[in-house]
Amino acid sequence: MSATRFTYLGPEGTFTEAALRTLPEAATRELVPMVSVPAALDAVRNGEAAAALVPIENSVEGGVTATLDELASGEPLMIYREVLLPIAFALLVRPGTALTDVKTVTGHPVAQPQVRNWLRRHLPEAVWESAASNADGARLVQEGRFDAAFAGAFAAATYGLEALVEDIHDAENAETRFVLVGRPARPAAPTGADKTSMVLWLRDDHPGALLELLQEFAVRGVNLMLIQSRPTGAGIGNYCFAVDAEGHVADRRMGEALMGLKRICPKVRFLGSYPRAGVAVADVRALRPGTTDSDFTAAADWLARCQDGRGA
Amino acid sequence: MSATRFTYLGPEGTFTEAALRTLPEAATRELVPMVSVPAALDAVRNGEAAAALVPIENSVEGGVTATLDELASGEPLMIYREVLLPIAFALLVRPGTALTDVKTVTGHPVAQPQVRNWLRRHLPEAVWESAASNADGARLVQEGRFDAAFAGAFAAATYGLEALVEDIHDAENAETRFVLVGRPARPAAPTGADKTSMVLWLRDDHPGALLELLQEFAVRGVNLMLIQSRPTGAGIGNYCFAVDAEGHVADRRMGEALMGLKRICPKVRFLGSYPRAGVAVADVRALRPGTTDSDFTAAADWLARCQDGRGA
Amino acid sequence: MSATRFTYLGPEGTFTEAALRTLPEAATRELVPMVSVPAALDAVRNGEAAAALVPIENSVEGGVTATLDELASGEPLMIYREVLLPIAFALLVRPGTALTDVKTVTGHPVAQPQVRNWLRRHLPEAVWESAASNADGARLVQEGRFDAAFAGAFAAATYGLEALVEDIHDAENAETRFVLVGRPARPAAPTGADKTSMVLWLRDDHPGALLELLQEFAVRGVNLMLIQSRPTGAGIGNYCFAVDAEGHVADRRMGEALMGLKRICPKVRFLGSYPRAGVAVADVRALRPGTTDSDFTAAADWLARCQDGRGA
Amino acid sequence: MSATRFTYLGPEGTFTEAALRTLPEAATRELVPMVSVPAALDAVRNGEAAAALVPIENSVEGGVTATLDELASGEPLMIYREVLLPIAFALLVRPGTALTDVKTVTGHPVAQPQVRNWLRRHLPEAVWESAASNADGARLVQEGRFDAAFAGAFAAATYGLEALVEDIHDAENAETRFVLVGRPARPAAPTGADKTSMVLWLRDDHPGALLELLQEFAVRGVNLMLIQSRPTGAGIGNYCFAVDAEGHVADRRMGEALMGLKRICPKVRFLGSYPRAGVAVADVRALRPGTTDSDFTAAADWLARCQDGRGA
């Protein structure tokens, strides 16, 4: 029964699973690892799962562009939550292994650059071989094919390993962003610290076409957080844009910007409004003067007075 | 009783009077010449007149900036009609005067450049002296102080003169624009070839402040017809902007643009929506795709579906 | 001989003459009043005068639109100086006349609104009749046709009158701006508080055409001081734009903006760079970061390094 | 000796290697597979390799965001060539294997969605298990751990396999883009079909900051091909932008746009100008009127005339 099942980018023991387990709504679900982002999302589209957690930005497990492309095409889906997870690896070994015993290490290829400096300092002689995922690396250590694997510390239990070293990461402040995706429904009410995601297609690609698109946001004082051009699949040089903007579809400024985009773009896909992870309402940037809901209401009242001849 | 009286920039026999007489609504009114544009408009503000006709663009009788400044300040007024009058002078003389008799000519100083070339060709020896208005010039000819006056042919009868030559004008296609101004009331319904006038004040005068203001129009596909910066009276360097835009306040794109301006400008004065003179509906420029009322309605429906989770 | 002669919008005794007399370069010239702005400027074009002083903004003597239109068409001219004159009238009477003797008053029709409130308070019974210019009004008082004329106090001597009351003006801070116009030559060196004037024609009149034009300024951080749309004479709805911008044609940001405009506009007319009247260098608004000449030079150096492969 | 060595995202048998082998300049080099994009690029920075080929867009081997992030930080690098490779997989098996023998398949996880539909139709019973790379999958088939691997057909020889089926791909027209990266040097001369890559940092993140950045391109008629926001590493919400634009740093419009960006951005990294892969000069989109090099030169000549008083 779909309502009881969430899928995620597997296998078990990945950062995606760890991110999913931070969500209260996941606590009572059956969590099912899938081989790829499209597979995880198709289970949602097919009704086999209620939602899927997939990486969408800055992932050490890949999948980011697959997620964007999947959200941009096929049956519409919507984002309901985002999860931020700091990027930090543990060195997982079979119980009893000392650091000096480690001659071979493994992990996802995307993880390797994150642990390169650490390896150079602590295991300069160790030989790296890539695994299909961080979790697969852990499994291969369990099977005895490698001495150690870089993976999330939470993967140790799953594979009967122990974390010899924790919190390994070359970049400071690095985080992966995941999103919880379901079928379209009414978005959650605004919290005051919200984000709206969408995909926009350009009418044509003259110089300034993208500029016109961004003016729809700027004129209403809507701040952009992310913009990614993605090929549309209609040949190189044809792009759509994945955009994250500050605010909620229920905010007047966001609604007017979305309607403006809808009018000028051949296609707009609304991907949902949801609470921003890791941002308190008090830390949300102040709105530009003239862009609050009450500014919109006051302007609408004024317009009605003009239209009625009751003074300007 | 005010409803029976229209004022205009006098004196009798001016182009303004001629323009006023082209309006059907003037046929049954008492038409009262006033010494200046502010005087004509104050009569409306005070309730002594129902409306005033005053020049607003490219006038050969002055008054244009006075009209703009008066509309921008004081008690609010609204424009209900515009009238275009081709600029063409007649050479008015006392009956019996031949062209060779004309040694001295007069007229409003602003008229002089319009007839200069004609004078050079046909009356190279004639001496010009300025009058306070074209009509005053005609009066001075009647009184025998000058041999001929440049004025509208319609002024001949008023002053017992005859038009020796007609259709004198140096520039081709030159027209004066006049507006009929009254106290605020509900604008006439859209005709399909309408114009909306307003005065806009800038929040502050950083590079790009005016650009932001114009973006409010451009984003909604509203075409500007006229923009004039005017000093606000708060010292040199402080400007407001008189703007004419294509469309009616009842059009969705115009309404949204006006609301946007209301939100970013410290002050907006709506001066009315009224039919464009001399432009048939069939000749109105096509709207930019995505800016018709039905585009706005469709976008609003789409937004409602997004907000309700009924698909993007 | 032209180099010794300056023309101005006459007749003698106007504010324009008073403005001209504030210029040191006028002290040694023959100052010749002309009947109209076009006549004053044609004398310059024909070589009969070295320069002409004409009103260009907020004049109480008219002529503003004539000046803009003349600068926009015909043989090119350039602005070399601007002069600001506060708008303040004197009540000129024949010597011996007391205020209680004044039953009839005269003046230019444009002056009337500036003195209306004063008249209401001090001469509520006086009858106004318009004159062709403020100076003409003074002449008519001299001739005995009126009891008093509103004109500049400086006109009293010319017409043998005396100023019974001075500093009459309804609006606070009102000023007229005049410009000294000559044939094209190298502009004066920048002073640090300069202004550049130009006329711009639009390629076509789609929504946003004006916006594109203003972007050329905004992108280079050039601040606009004045923008006036003017009919081009090619039929109603065809406009050019008179623009004043802060800065000098020798400033890098202004030069780049002008080149950008030259590329997108079918026609650009450069009207000169000249010192701003009434603004000390210390009071000039700070430039937007990144728009000084040294910012331009640094960016050009950086570009050369990129092009040479010497690092980005 | 570095000049003889090119690195690439390995292992051997990947699409990246296949792309590299299409380049004439690779024919005489030692081609060295590296475990990750950062490792491949560090070899260039360290002088161990003359250049590295890495995926930058739409890759089925991951690495895209790693490439963008590496180019944006650390020692400057430059792009000299791009290579497009259609995405098409072969099903690699040990010689003698028939399709009906295939019970287990492997490949890079990113490849799985590209072959999903094919699997469903032709091998609905086959079990998928991910490998660390497409090439690793081939190696695991060679070792007998799986029956078949999805990889490039070119990988068959390396691993002693044969391509049982070729040209498998779910999406039409899908291509991966790779770039050849070296240390900074003078870019190749313009070909008429060029592309310029850069990374831009925003001064601050107010609504419209990105708009200002894009205006620098639009005002000069420079067309954008790609824009990707990337976290700067200074905490969530801090972004830089990877941008590809049509044209060459030697083009006047591109040079002026780059200088404008350099002035408004706290940091700009020029990543090179290089020929566009797969685009003939004849197919390059026409420039917007007014943006050719000769338009720039003509405007500069005009400006010089204005500055010299030789007419506008």
pLDDT tens-digit readout, A182-224 = 999 999 999 999 999 999 998 766 667 888 899 999 999 998 8
Helix orientation angle between C252-264 and C209-219, rounded to the nearest 10 degrees: 160
Distance (Å, rounded) from C-alpha A138 to C-alpha A145? 10
Distance (Å, rounded) from C-alpha A64 to C-alpha A68? 6
What's the count of helices (H) and strands (E) in chain A, helices before strands? 9, 14
- Identify the pLDDT of residue A1: 42
Place of tokens 């020889």: D157
Structure tokens at C249: 């044609």
Say if residue D98 is exposed, middle or buried (CB neighbours under 10 Å; 0-12, 13-18, 19+).
exposed
Number of domains in chain D: 2
Residue A94 in this model has a pLDDT that exceeds 70 = yes
Do residue A106 and residue A211 come from a single domain?
A: no
Chain C CB contacts of B36 below 8 Å? 109-110, 112-113, 116
Q: Answer yes or no: do B133 and C130 touch at CB < 8 A.
A: yes
Query: For D226, which of A57, A208, A229 is closest by C-beta distance?
Result: A229
Query: For A211, which of D130, D215, D278 is closest by C-beta distance?
Result: D215
Place of tokens 């000549």: D301
Residue B206 in this model has a pLDDT that exceeds 80 = no
D73 domain residue, yes or no = no
Mean pLDDT of the B29-50 span: 94
Say if residue B97 is exposed, middle or buried (CB neighbours under 10 Å; 0-12, 13-18, 19+).
middle
Do residue D295 and residue D192 come from a single domain?
A: yes
Q: Answer yes or no: do C186 and D78 touch at CB < 8 A.
A: no
Residue C262 in this model has a pLDDT that exceeds 90 = yes
Q: Answer yes or no: do C309 and D187 touch at CB < 8 A.
A: yes
Q: Answer yes or no: do C173 and B234 touch at CB < 8 A.
A: yes
Chain B CB contacts of A307 below 8 Å? 186-187, 249-250, 255
Question: Could you give the ipTM of this predicted complex?
Answer: 0.89
Q: Answer yes or no: do C302 and D262 touch at CB < 8 A.
A: yes
- Identify the pLDDT of residue C62: 62
Q: Answer yes or no: do D307 and C215 touch at CB < 8 A.
A: no
Domain end position, chosen among A138, A168, A198: A168
Chain A CB contacts of B256 below 8 Å? 256
Please, what is the Cα angle at D300 between D297 and D303, to 5 degrees?
A: 155
Q: Answer yes or no: do C227 and B228 touch at CB < 8 A.
A: yes
Model's pTM, two decimal places?
0.89
Mean pLDDT of the A53-70 span: 80
B304 touches chain A (CB under 8 A): no
pLDDT band at residue A278 using 50, 70 and 90 as cut-offs: confident
Other CB atoms within a 10 A radius of the CB of residue C69 amount to 23
Chain D CB contacts of C291 below 8 Å? 263
CA-based nearest distance C10→chain D, Å: 29
Do residue C194 and residue C310 come from a single domain?
A: yes
Q: What percent of chain A has pLDDT over 70?
A: 94
D44 domain residue, yes or no = no
Do residue C274 and residue C207 come from a single domain?
A: yes
Q: Answer yes or no: do C207 and B229 touch at CB < 8 A.
A: no
Digit-coded pLDDT (tens) for A285-311 = 889 899 999 999 999 999 999 999 886
- Identify the pLDDT of residue C1: 42
Chain A CB contacts of B296 below 8 Å? 259, 263
Q: Chain C, 116-155: which have a CB under 8 Å from a chain B CB?
A: 116, 128-133, 136
- Pick from C262, C265, C291 the residue to mutate for testing the D interface (most D CBs within 10 Å): C262
Largest CA distance in chain C: 86
The enclosing domain of B220 has a CATH number of 3.30.70.260
A64 domain residue, yes or no = no
Digit-coded pLDDT (tens) for C163-211 = 999 999 877 767 889 999 999 999 999 999 999 999 999 876 666 788 8
DSSP C232: -
CA-based nearest distance A71→chain B, Å: 12
Across chain C, what does the average pLDDT equal?
Answer: 90
- Identify the pLDDT of residue B1: 42
Structure tokens at B114: 């319009």
Q: Answer yes or no: do C228 and B227 touch at CB < 8 A.
A: yes
Say if residue B22 is exposed, middle or buried (CB neighbours under 10 Å; 0-12, 13-18, 19+).
middle
Digit-coded pLDDT (tens) for C27-36 = 999 999 998 8
Chain D CB contacts of C269 below 8 Å? 312
Place of tokens 């940092």: D201
List, in sequence order, every beta strand (DSSP E) within A40-161: 51-57, 78-86, 89-93, 104-107, 127-130, 148-151
- Pick from A210, A241, A253 the residue to mutate for testing the D interface (most D CBs within 10 Å): A210
Mean pLDDT of the C88-104 span: 95
DSSP B126: P
Place of tokens 């951005």: D265
Do residue C192 and residue C180 come from a single domain?
A: no
Chain D residue with the nearest C-alpha to that of C294: D263
A229 touches chain D (CB under 8 A): yes
D36 domain residue, yes or no = no
Mean pLDDT of the A27-37 span: 93
Do residue A119 and residue A241 come from a single domain?
A: no
Query: For B312, which of A76, A220, A295 is closest by C-beta distance?
Result: A76
Say if residue A76 is exposed, middle or buried (CB neighbours under 10 Å; 0-12, 13-18, 19+).
middle
Distance (Å, rounded) from C-alpha D232 to C-alpha D255? 25
Mean pLDDT of the C270-287 span: 91
Residue C96 in this model has a pLDDT that exceeds 60 = yes
Do residue A190 and residue A312 come from a single domain?
A: yes
Cβ-based neighbours of B174, under 8 Å, separated by 6 or more: B58, B86, B87, B114, C233
- Identify the pLDDT of residue D279: 87
Residue C311 in this model has a pLDDT that exceeds 90 = no
- Identify the pLDDT of residue C234: 65
B285 touches chain A (CB under 8 A): no
A19 domain residue, yes or no = no
D250 touches chain C (CB under 8 A): yes
CA-based nearest distance A177→chain D, Å: 10
Query: How do the pLDDT tens digits run along chain D, 312 residues long?
Result: 467 899 999 888 889 999 999 999 999 999 999 988 999 999 999 999 999 999 998 766 666 778 888 999 889 999 999 999 988 999 999 999 999 999 999 998 778 888 988 999 999 999 998 888 888 899 999 999 999 999 999 999 999 999 999 999 877 767 889 999 999 999 999 999 999 999 999 876 666 788 889 999 999 999 888 888 887 766 556 778 999 999 999 999 999 999 999 999 999 999 999 999 988 888 888 898 999 999 999 999 999 999 998 866
D160 touches chain A (CB under 8 A): no
Q: Answer yes or no: do A223 and D206 touch at CB < 8 A.
A: yes
If we measure between CA atoms, which residue out of A150, A130, A123, A134 comes closest to residue D33?
A: A130
D87 touches chain C (CB under 8 A): no
Do residue D282 and residue D198 come from a single domain?
A: yes
Q: Answer yes or no: do C210 and B227 touch at CB < 8 A.
A: yes
Q: Is the peptide bond before D124 cis (omega within 30 degrees of 0)?
A: no
Chain A CB contacts of D231 below 8 Å? 57-58, 175
Across chain B, what does the average pLDDT equal?
Answer: 90
Digit-coded pLDDT (tens) for A222-255 = 988 888 888 776 655 677 899 999 999 999 999 9
CA C260 to chain CA centroid, nearest Å = 26
pLDDT band at residue B210 using 50, 70 and 90 as cut-offs: confident
Mean pLDDT of the B229-234 span: 73
Domain end position, chosen among A139, A168, A197: A168
Chain D residue with the nearest C-alpha to that of A11: D130
Do residue B5 and residue B43 come from a single domain?
A: yes
Q: Are C148 and C141 in contact (CB under 8 A)?
A: yes
Q: Answer yes or no: do D35 and A109 touch at CB < 8 A.
A: yes
Distance (Å, rounded) from C-alpha A234 to C-alpha A205? 13
Do residue D215 and residue D159 come from a single domain?
A: no
Q: Are C283 and C193 in contact (CB under 8 A)?
A: yes
Q: Are D40 and D34 in contact (CB under 8 A)?
A: yes
- Pick from D248, D258, D259 the residue to mutate for testing the C interface (most C CBs within 10 Å): D259
Do residue B197 and residue B277 come from a single domain?
A: yes
CA-based nearest distance D91→chain C, Å: 44
A1 domain residue, yes or no = no
Q: Which domain holds residue A127?
A: 89-168
From residue A37, how far is each of A43, A135, A304, D15, D228 by CA, in Å? 10, 16, 49, 21, 21
If we measure between CA atoms, which residue out of C11, C79, C47, C15 comes closest to residue C244?
A: C79
Distance (Å, rounded) from C-alpha A179 to C-alpha A81? 6
Q: Answer yes or no: do B249 and A299 touch at CB < 8 A.
A: no
How many Cβ contacts (< 8 angstroms) between chains A and B?
Answer: 106
Chain C residue with the nearest C-alpha to that of D272: C306
Chain B CB contacts of C34 below 8 Å? none
- Identify the pLDDT of residue D160: 95
Domain end position, chosen among D139, D168, D197: D168
A252 touches chain B (CB under 8 A): no
D9 domain residue, yes or no = no
Query: For C308, which of D186, D302, D311 is closest by C-beta distance?
Result: D186
If we measure between CA atoms, which residue out of C70, C73, C77 comes closest to residue C55?
A: C70
D28 domain residue, yes or no = no
- Identify the pLDDT of residue D217: 95
From residue A41, how far is each of A10, A69, A73 by CA, in Å? 12, 11, 11
- Identify the pLDDT of residue C239: 79
Q: Answer yes or no: do A186 and B255 touch at CB < 8 A.
A: no
CA-based nearest distance D42→chain A, Å: 11
- Identify the pLDDT of residue A171: 73
The enclosing domain of A129 has a CATH number of 3.40.190.10
Do residue A278 and residue A248 come from a single domain?
A: yes
Residue A9's H or E segment, with its range, is strand A5-9
Mean pLDDT of the A6-35 span: 93
